[in-house]
Structure 1
Amino acid sequence: MRILHSSDWHLGQHFMGKTRQAEHQALIDWLLAEAQAQQVDAVLLAGDIFDTGTPPSYARELYNRLVLALKGAGVQLVVLAGNHDSVAMLEESKALLGALDTLVVASPGDDQLLVLKDGQGQPGAILCAIPFLRARDLLQSEAGQSQEDKQRGLQQAIQDHYQHLYQRALARRAELGLELPIVMTGHLTTVGASASESVREIYVGSLEAYPSNGFPPADYIALGHIHRPQKVGGQDHVRYSGSPIPLSFDEARQQKEVLLVELAPGQCQVSSLPVPSFQALASVRGRLEELRAQVAALCEGIDSLWLEVQLEGEEHLADLQARVAEQLEGLPVELLRLRRVRSNQGAALGREAGETLDELDPLDVFARRLACEELEPALADSLTGLYRQTLASLEEGQ
């Protein structure tokens, strides 16, 4: 059986004032062509199909196009909810999409044990389709618990959830009397995973990442939430596919990919399918006088470049935006973000004259304010953890 593993599409993302609609449409066209060329039986999207819980109408339309395109190609689609997705929104069309060979698993309350069919319509693999797991889905709050106690309890509950589903999969395989591979999914951070600035972390503190040894011995584990494609713990069968398009400037240099997983009894072979760049994206860093040469080199052979500029040593210039525009004149470039790179001595919040809030995220602002206080490192770490928890709670409730 052949499966394409992808995740973190973030349909509807509003990136520095720019829509990603054309890129996502091109991605759907490319994925359809690859699914047919590789004779794929199923596509797994391991969470964050949408960027927010209330995606714009064009993002929903893209989602529907993906469903119809894969249905027309005879490829089954499995959609798992991520932390950005609205459970209610995904479930409202679940029954309708089921008639189009698309299986949607939005919460632990859904049927998470699925049998995937191969190209001949025969059972090809057993799927433990696990979406993003929230604490409220698995635990009951207890008075007097510390944050560490709650985090340990959540990790244990997640591990129990995986183990329980794996045992059910073994029982289902025995019931079918077939040596079917077992595939599991997940949308979470694991120990050692390398994130990027576009990943909004949900877990906080020293226990924020789920231990990779907590997964059962499934034949393949398809993960989402981390946007860099990578193996987990050096294991070829435990993979993040990463996002198929760069979702932040620090992802611009990554080769995006989807994963082709070939399964047979006792066998799992994983190979990467590089995703083309549908919109050039780049970040450059240096002094103003170096800017044009750097950007001109990046523009060779492309029609449009979305650009971030990080300028060094230009704190004193009040008309920096105009000077940068002059350097970029005539190049096929849209400047989406301009940042000043400052010395460590200017890191305190009160010294950031000329730096605007749109250059900072909420954690940056909090860190700058905290740096103004003379706090013990342990207390500063604790306050930062509480602040991250507050941000995560607000994002989870969106």
Structure 2
Amino acid sequence: MRILHTSDWHLGQHFMGKTRLDEHSAFLDWLVAQVEQHRVDAVLVAGDIFDTGTPPSYARELYHNFVVAMSRTGASLVLLGGNHDSVAMLNESRELLKALKVNVIPGAQAEPEQQLITLHKRNREPGAVLCAIPFLRPRDLLESRAGESADHKGRALQQAIADHYQDIFERAQGRSAQLGGGLPIIATGHLTTVGASSSDSVREIYIGTLEAFPASAFPPADYIALGHIHRPQKVGGHEHIRYSGSPLALGFDETGQQKEVLLVELSSAGLKEVTPVPVPVFQPMKRIKGSLKELAGRLSEAAATATGERPVWLEVTVTEDDYLSDLQARVQALCDGLNVEVLMVRRGRQERNGGLMAEQKETLSELTPVQVFERRLATEELAGGDEHELNRLYAQVLADLEEQA
């Protein structure tokens, strides 16, 4: 059985005033070509298909065109909802897409059997049993009780997620036995795991209730295909628990990453091999930093990496000690005649005591509410017990707001 694992497409993303339409279109065409070239039996998309719950019409068109193109390859397709996806929107065409051998799992299902899918090889023989688990919202698994602490809610949610995985996994074992045994079991997920390396463009899922799910709490599936973290990686060093990462750089902090999809081969003995397939760069992006004098040369170097007619998108950090009111204009003047486009100009600032913005040059939009609160607390002289209590109360407020959302 050969599957292709991908996630976090974020179709419809509007990046600093720029559409990603051409990039996403090129990626989806490339992905279909990989399915045909590698004779893939099934494609798993582990969440965040869209960037928002109300994607623009062109993003929906890309989605449906991809489904049609995939139906012509002979491979099956499983689409799972992520925290960015709307359950209602994915449900709109769910029944219609079944006619094209597409399984859509927008959220946790009322009947657990609906999250159990038999994946077939191209010759129509059963090849694997899939525990199709999407992003799990707290309200899908727990009943809210007034007065519970954030810590208690977090532990309860973590246990509920673990129980949900175990329930679907045991049903998968039963399905495998019904089909003669020996079928590998695959699971999916869209969540943060302990030790996963994140990036600025990843929005926290369980702020105030669950920060990360331990890898040890997953059932012993032969392969676990995860989404949500944009950096491709193994979880806890395990070969069989993987994030495929996003196929496009969704923030400037991701520009140094080699984006990939994962080609996974399984047999009756379990996992055979995982092969990363590098995704081409469809839109060059770079971060450069330096004084105005240094930037002149670095901008020329960046322009040299342009491919075709596409300009290189840049985030420029200027490390000048003096405050310059015309900084944006000065940077733009340096770009004259170069095949680059500056999307963001930052001022490099040294970390100061009492400042919310650190040397990493973060903006409020790049910080989670918890990080903002922690950095604000750091500006006050508080006793250790007071700081702990304020953090606890703030976590409780976030948990309550999350339940009401």
Question: Fold conserved (TM > 0.5)?
Answer: yes
Moved more, 282-291 or 25-34: 282-291
Superposed CA offset, 1:232-270 (max 9, x none): 010111000000000000000100000000111113110
Structure 1 residue 320 corresponds to structure 2 residue 327: yes
Partner-residue secondary structure (3-state), 2:100: coil
Superposed CA offset, 1:338-375 (max 9, x none): 111211227526x99xx997876564765665454333
TM-score if structure 1 supplies the norm length? Answer: 0.92
Counterpart of 1:246 in structure 2 is: 249
Partner-residue secondary structure (3-state), 1:161: helix
Moved more, 387-396 or 219-228: 387-396
Partner-residue secondary structure (3-state), 1:25: helix
Structure 1 residue 271 corresponds to structure 2 residue 278: no
Counterpart of 2:298 in structure 1 is: 294
Partner-residue secondary structure (3-state), 1:344: coil
Partner-residue secondary structure (3-state), 1:307: strand
Q: How does 1:356-375 map to 2 (within 5 A)?
A: 361=367, 363=369, 369-375=376-382
- What's the CA shift for 1:383? 5.0
Distance (Å, rounded) in 1 between the aligned partners of 2:164 and 2:59:
31
Distance (Å, rounded) in 2 between the aligned partners of 1:81 and 1:250:
25
Distance (Å, rounded) in 2 between the aligned partners of 1:387 and 1:248:
28
Q: Decide whether the 8 Å contact of 2:43 with 2:77 is kept in 1.
A: yes
Distance (Å, rounded) in 1 between the aligned partners of 2:67 and 2:318:
44
Partner-residue secondary structure (3-state), 2:4: strand
Q: Decide whether the 8 Å contact of 2:354 with 2:379 is kept in 1.
A: no
Distance (Å, rounded) in 2 between the aligned partners of 1:376 and 1:73:
63
Counterpart of 1:191 in structure 2 is: 194
Distance (Å, rounded) in 2 between the aligned partners of 1:337 and 1:301:
18
Q: Decide whether the 8 Å contact of 2:120 with 2:126 is kept in 1.
A: yes
Counterpart of 1:203 in structure 2 is: 206
Change in Cα spacing, 1:322 to 1:248, as seen in structure 2 (3 Å) is: same
Q: Decide whether the 8 Å contact of 1:314 with 1:340 is kept in 2.
A: no
Distance (Å, rounded) in 2 between the aligned partners of 1:319 and 1:298:
22
Counterpart of 1:49 in structure 2 is: 49
Superposed CA offset, 1:1-37 (max 9, x none): 1100000000000100100000000001100111100
Distance (Å, rounded) in 1 between the aligned partners of 2:36 and 2:8:
22
- What's the CA shift for 1:377? 5.7
The AA in structure 2 aligned to 1:285 is: K
- What's the CA shift for 1:294? 1.4
The AA in structure 1 aligned to 2:335 is: L
Structure 1 residue 63 corresponds to structure 2 residue 30: no
Distance (Å, rounded) in 2 between the aligned partners of 1:272 and 1:205:
34
Superposed CA offset, 1:189-232 (max 9, x none): 00000000000011236951100000111110000000000000
Counterpart of 1:257 in structure 2 is: 260
Structure 1 residue 118 corresponds to structure 2 residue 121: yes
| Aligned residues: CA RMSD | 2.5
Change in Cα spacing, 1:360 to 1:338, as seen in structure 2 (3 Å) is: farther
Q: Decide whether the 8 Å contact of 1:315 with 1:340 is kept in 2.
A: no
Distance (Å, rounded) in 2 between the aligned partners of 1:392 and 1:200:
16
Q: Decide whether the 8 Å contact of 1:11 with 1:55 is kept in 2.
A: yes
Distance (Å, rounded) in 2 between the aligned partners of 1:18 and 1:387:
35
The AA in structure 2 aligned to 1:239 is: R
Change in Cα spacing, 1:98 to 1:23, as seen in structure 2 (3 Å) is: same
Counterpart of 1:138 in structure 2 is: 141
Change in Cα spacing, 1:89 to 1:315, as seen in structure 2 (3 Å) is: farther
Q: Decide whether the 8 Å contact of 2:9 with 2:247 is kept in 1.
A: yes
- What's the CA shift for 1:384? 6.0
Aligned positions, number: 395
Partner-residue secondary structure (3-state), 1:131: coil
Q: Decide whether the 8 Å contact of 1:202 with 1:392 is kept in 2.
A: no
Change in Cα spacing, 1:29 to 1:335, as seen in structure 2 (3 Å) is: same
Change in Cα spacing, 1:387 to 1:257, as seen in structure 2 (3 Å) is: farther
- What's the CA shift for 1:326? 1.4
Q: How does 1:223-238 map to 2 (within 5 A)?
A: 223-238=226-241
Structure 1 residue 338 corresponds to structure 2 residue 355: no
Change in Cα spacing, 1:277 to 1:392, as seen in structure 2 (3 Å) is: farther
Q: How does 1:98-117 map to 2 (within 5 A)?
A: 98-109=98-109, 111-117=114-120
Distance (Å, rounded) in 2 between the aligned partners of 1:279 and 1:397:
39
Q: How does 1:142-153 map to 2 (within 5 A)?
A: 142-153=145-156
Q: Decide whether the 8 Å contact of 1:224 with 1:240 is kept in 2.
A: yes
Distance (Å, rounded) in 1 between the aligned partners of 2:252 and 2:385:
32
Distance (Å, rounded) in 2 between the aligned partners of 1:100 and 1:54:
24
The AA in structure 2 aligned to 1:84 is: H
Q: Decide whether the 8 Å contact of 2:2 with 2:263 is kept in 1.
A: yes
- What's the CA shift for 1:176? 1.3
Q: Decide whether the 8 Å contact of 1:43 with 1:76 is kept in 2.
A: yes
Distance (Å, rounded) in 1 between the aligned partners of 2:397 and 2:68:
39
Could you tell me which runs of 5 or more consecutive residues in structure 1 were left unpaired when the two chains were aligned: none
Distance (Å, rounded) in 2 between the aligned partners of 1:388 and 1:289:
46
Distance (Å, rounded) in 1 between the aligned partners of 2:277 and 2:70:
18
Q: Decide whether the 8 Å contact of 1:128 with 1:165 is kept in 2.
A: yes
Superposed CA offset, 1:91-117 (max 9, x none): 111000111111000121161000011
Moved more, 104-113 or 73-82: 104-113
Distance (Å, rounded) in 2 between the aligned partners of 1:356 and 1:195:
15
Structure 1 residue 19 corresponds to structure 2 residue 19: yes
Change in Cα spacing, 1:313 to 1:365, as seen in structure 2 (3 Å) is: farther
